[in-house]
Structure 1
Amino acid sequence: MNAPEPVPYTAYDTRLASYAVITDDEGRILLALWNEASDGGRWTLPGGGVELDETVEEGAVREVREETGYDVRLDRLMTVDTYVIPSSRRHVETDRPLKAVRVLFAATIVGGELTPEVDGTTDEARWFTPAEAARLPHVSLVDLALGLLG
Structure 2
Amino acid sequence: MHFTDYDTRVAAYAVIVDDAGRILLSWFNGNHRNDPGWTLPGGGVDYGEQMPAAVVREVKEETGYDVEVGAPLTTDVFVVPFDPGRRPYQSTRVVFEARIVGGELGTLEVDGTTDFAAWVALDDPAIEADTTSPIVRMGIAALKVAQSTQ
TM-score if structure 1 supplies the norm length? 0.86
Question: 1:74-117 CA distances to partner (integer Å, 9 max, x unpaired)?
Answer: 121111211112244xxxx8421111110111000000000123
TM-score if structure 2 supplies the norm length? 0.86
* Superposition RMSD in Å: 1.7
| Equivalent position amino acid for 1:29 in 2 | I
In structure 1, stretches of 5+ residues that fail to align are: 1-6
Question: d(CA) in 1 for partners of 2:6 and 2:85?
Answer: 10
Partner residue, 2:147 = none
2:120 matches 1:125: no
1:95 corresponds to which of 86, 97, 110: 86
Partner residue, 2:17 = 23
- When residues 134 and 12 of structure 1 are mapped into structure 2, their CA distance, relative to the original with a 3 A threshold, is same
Partner residue, 1:112 = 103
Q: Is the 8 A contact 2:42 2:58 kept in 1?
A: yes
Q: When the two structures are aligned, how many residues end up with a matched partner?
A: 140
| Equivalent position amino acid for 2:52 in 1 | E
Larger Rg computed on CA atoms: 1
Cα offset, 1:39, TM superposition: 4.8
Cα offset, 1:135, TM superposition: 3.4
The percent of aligned pairs where both chains have the same amino acid is 47
| Equivalent position amino acid for 2:18 in 1 | D
Cα offset, 1:131, TM superposition: 2.2
Partner residue, 2:6 = 12
Question: 1:39-62 CA distances to partner (integer Å, 9 max, x unpaired)?
Answer: 532110000000002111111110
